[in-house]
Amino acid sequence: MDLHEFQAKECFERHGIPVARGQTAATAGQAAEAAERLRPPVVVKAQVLTGGRGKAGGVKLCRSVAEARAAAQAILGMDIRGHTVRTVLVDPAADIRGELYLAVTNDRAARRPLIMASAAGGMDIEAVNRETPESILRTHVDPQIGLRDYQIAGLASGLARARGTALPAGLRHPFAVLARSLYDCFRATDATLCEINPLAVVAEDGRLALRALDGKMSIDANALFRQGGLAEVRDASAEPAGEAEARASGINYVKLDGQIGCMVNGAGLAMATMDLVGHFGGAHGIGPANFLDVSGGASAQQVATGLRIILSDASVRAVLINIFGGITRGDEVARGIMAALEEVPTALPMTIRLAGTNHEEGMRMLEEAGLANVTVAQSLQAAAQAAVDAARSG
Ligand code: GDP
Ligand code: MN
């Protein structure tokens, strides 16, 4: 679960990380009021769950209340990479002297948290990682031992020597405190990512200081049961359309970028199905539109809900249903699919593969139903190939 910038910065602040104390606004009028209270200059920032807002015009420096109102007017309602802006954050503007990068994430391969720091902050860190990976300093943390002072000192001296924004000598201690706070925040919130970009060197009252000007946090959704405060801030309206409905129905759904809507029972089978779609479709730019595990009995109701979720994604051009009948019987699944199609009619091409208990009967029922857009496939390979063909010609 991703947090908005203002939510991430609230977490940071609770852990003692210096942030700008801003206010959110849902209308241009509220933004103007916030700007008046904070006294310009202020920055007005789009709150959407995607990065690169600056480049997209979603971050504006404003020198007056009128400018802040106009900026909010322009940014609210803006579409940033498929995310509609419904809230802006109005922050007091900082006098930026340099931009660093600091993040804690999980390195799954190393099976431990990883701290990354860079003097090339502010910009697209993925691009930095591609072009000059050596400019990103990395330190793994043993979760049993915790973050040690020497590790932070190593990062600080790396940043002090770096090209780009060299960490000023006077900020080494504040950096050490801040890095520890970020690690504590990461651990305490069950985060999978805590990122500050930029971690700005700012001038205030004639002195240099560090400030988290941007914040990005992802929380492990499996830990939300013990993250009461965070579970409540989940912004369902900012998530891809189907994800909230799926969660409410106990369906595991993750929206992806492709064109083939996949409905599968079982997470492993769903992954294998996606791999096959990628295998046949990859060369043609065709891939899975989602991961969806209907789970459990694949009842008519569950299949209908899954289908509705898949079809709510406008980029879906073909549907692939792959159900293995263990406890679930193939004839029951077939009945479920037909009931679902009555409830959620669609003209999109659908390929269905059933295997396991009573699969012959299920397949015969589907064939006899004579639905024009439905193809019953004999194998998973054939099903994936047919779905790719349908998506290509559709
Ligand atoms: P992102 O593009 O989505 O990562 O949004 P950021 O919050 O990182 O903002 C993008 C850029 O806007 C930063 O790298 C800064 O250069 C600039 N920016 C953000 N806040 C301030 C501020 O308070 N003052 C000034 N002058 N620039 C800011
Ligand atoms: Mn940023």
Per-residue pLDDT of 25-67, as tens digits, reads 999 999 999 999 999 999 999 999 988 899 999 999 999 999 9
Exposure b/e, 27-42, CB count within 10 A at least 16 = b: ebebbbbbbeebebbb
Task: Report the mean per-residue pLDDT for the chain.
Answer: 93
Q: How far apart are CA 346 and CA 354, in angstroms?
A: 20
Active site residue 253: no
Report the atom number in ligand 1 closest to the C-alpha of 50. 3
The answer, yes or no, to whether residue 298 has pLDDT greater than 70, is no
Candidate list 101, 183, 253, 332, residue with the active-site label: 101
Active site residue 332: no
Which residues are near ligand 1 (CB < 6 Å)? 43, 45, 51-54, 59, 61, 91, 93-94, 96, 99, 122, 197-198, 213-214
Across residues 100-123, what is the average pLDDT?
95
Residue 153: how many other CB atoms lie within 10 Å: 14
Q: Tell me the range of 164-168, 230-234, 382-386 where mean pLDDT is highest.
A: 382-386
Report the atom number in ligand 1 closest to the C-alpha of 42. 23
Confidence band, pLDDT 50/70/90 cuts, at residue 106: very high
Predicted pLDDT of residue 198: 95
CA of 379 to the centre of ligand 1 (A): 52
CA of 390 to the centre of ligand 2 (A): 40
Across residues 316-336, what is the average pLDDT?
90
C-alpha separations of 366 from 79, 224, 292 in Å: 42, 41, 21
CA of 217 to the centre of ligand 2 (A): 12
Residue in the structure block whose two tokens are 């990354």: 116
Instruction: Choose the residue to mutate in 53, 60, 214, 216 for probing ligand 1, maximizing ligand atoms within 8 Å of C-beta.
Output: 214
